[in-house]
Amino acid sequence: MPRIGLVCAGAVFGAVMAGSCSVPASAEPAVQRSAAHDGQHDFDFELGAWKFRVRKLANALSGGHRWVELDGTTKTCKLWNGRAQIEQMEVSGAGQSIEGMTLRLYDPQTRQWSLYWATSKGGTIGGPPNIGEFRNGIGEFYADDTYEGRHVLIRYVWSRITPDSAHFEQSLSDDGGRTWVANWVTDQWRVAPGTDCAGGAP
């Protein structure tokens, strides 16, 4: 899912992979080694084709109260026996149109996922990955980034997951994680089952 309007200062893909955009102390619990749980298949619920409704908050860190509703579709396929996924997204409405892609990579050493976001308009990875894991059915993923020139933390949360539906929220914090403002909220429902990226449905 998207990191809309966020760019890591000075970061390019190579720098991201080298870890030049660090995760602050407040986000450290999301990037520490998971001692027991093998999360390789935690994102399997996303495989397949979905429709979703988006609520997007304008001026999220400036006291904005205007929510825009958008509609979209996604399809997700797996690679490397589930240790990687590619999600393609199209969303439109309110005079806006976004084509995006999420690359999800699972690290078997840390047992955590790294989520990378890109758009067809930008043509590059949009910033450092959101890194984290699922615990008790809820996935939390954090990144250290900038938003409208301000240093922020970005948090992704996956919840309310069933075989045919899921809920997602992207939130921002400009006070080191003490408070959060949600600025991208989606509810999605399945329209086709999953496959690998070699072909077939969806």
Residue-wise pLDDT tens digits, 76-90: 999 998 999 999 999
Residue-wise pLDDT tens digits, 17-70: 333 333 444 444 444 544 568 999 999 999 999 999 999 998 888 888 899 999
| 81 domain residue, yes or no | no
CATH number for the domain including 161?
2.40.128
Q: Quote the Cα angle for 19-151-17, to 5°.
A: 15
Hey, is 5 helix, strand or coil?
coil
194 close to 48: Cβ distance less than 8 angstroms: yes
| 7 domain residue, yes or no | no
| 151 domain residue, yes or no | yes
Hey, is 18 helix, strand or coil?
helix
pLDDT at 72: 95
Query: What is the distance between the alpha carbons of residues 83 and 101, in angstroms, rounded to a whole number?
Result: 17
Residue with tokens 């390019």: 12
| 179 domain residue, yes or no | yes
The 10 Å Cβ neighbour count of residue 69 is 10
Q: Quote the Cα angle for 183-27-154, to 5°.
A: 20
Range(s) of the domain holding residue 172: 13-59+92-192
| 1 domain residue, yes or no | no
pLDDT at 5: 47
| 20 domain residue, yes or no | yes
pLDDT band with cut points at 50, 70 and 90 for residue 94: confident
For strand 67-79 and strand 48-57, is the pairing parallel, antiparallel, or unpaired? Answer: antiparallel
pLDDT at 163: 94
| 50 domain residue, yes or no | yes
Quote the number of domains for the chain.
Answer: 1
| 186 domain residue, yes or no | yes
pLDDT at 7: 34
Residue-wise pLDDT tens digits, 102-143: 999 999 999 999 999 999 998 888 789 999 999 999 999 999
| Better-predicted residue by pLDDT, 98 or 35 | 98
pLDDT at 197: 76
